A = this chain, B = another copy of it.
Amino acid sequence: MRLAEHANQDVANNASNIGALVSFVGQVRDMNDGDSINTLTLEHYPEMTEKALLGIESEAKNRWDIIGSLIIHRVGTLKPLDQIVLVAVTSAHRGEAFKACEFIMDYLKTSAPFWKKESTNQGERWVDAKLSDDAAKARWK
């Protein structure tokens, strides 16, 4: 299993000006749209992924006073309970880290070139993009 990873700065909690660390972990659920999930395979566009993750982190740093951020996104074949993505953000105060972490997730879902394919007992199928993810992104305009 390969990793697409980008950190705009070390997000380790070893900087004494850090007061808040907000993190998000996404994991594979065993059910989707009523069907049992056997595996979930993530395809991506590697050169564009790197640029997209850098751009999202850079935009988050422009918008909020954050200290560090980290994005790790898995690609390849995963199974239920596997972790898909980690986003972690540090800041002096909690509001900035909460907003930036959710912003990064909303942009990751709608702007970074990853595609999910599920394997169910009914066969394989590509996951459709969700209108709710577009709506989540639109909040940040």
In the assembled complex, the CB of A87 is this many whole angstroms from the nearest CB of chain B, namely 10
Produce 1/0 per residue, A93-135, CB < 8 A to B: 0110110011001000000000000000000000000000000
A residues with CB within 8 A of B: 13-14, 16-31, 80-81, 83, 92, 94-95, 97-98, 101-102, 105, 136
Is there contact, CB below 8 Å, between B25 and A13? yes
Contact between A20 and B31, CB atoms less than 8 A apart: no
Inside 8 A of A18's CB, which chain B residues have their CB? 27, 29
A20 touches B13 (CB 8 A): no
Q: Given A24-B21, A102-B98, A92–B16 Cβ distance below 8 Å?
A: no
Query: What distance in Å separates the Cβ of A88 from its nearest Cβ neighbour in chain B?
Result: 9
Given A20-B25, A24-B97, A94-B102; 18 other pairs, CB 8 A cutoff: A13-B83, A14-B81, A16-B29, A16-B30, A16-B80, A16-B81, A19-B26, A19-B28, A20-B24, A20-B26, A21-B24, A21-B26, A22-B24, A23-B25, A24-B94, A24-B98, A29-B92, A95-B136
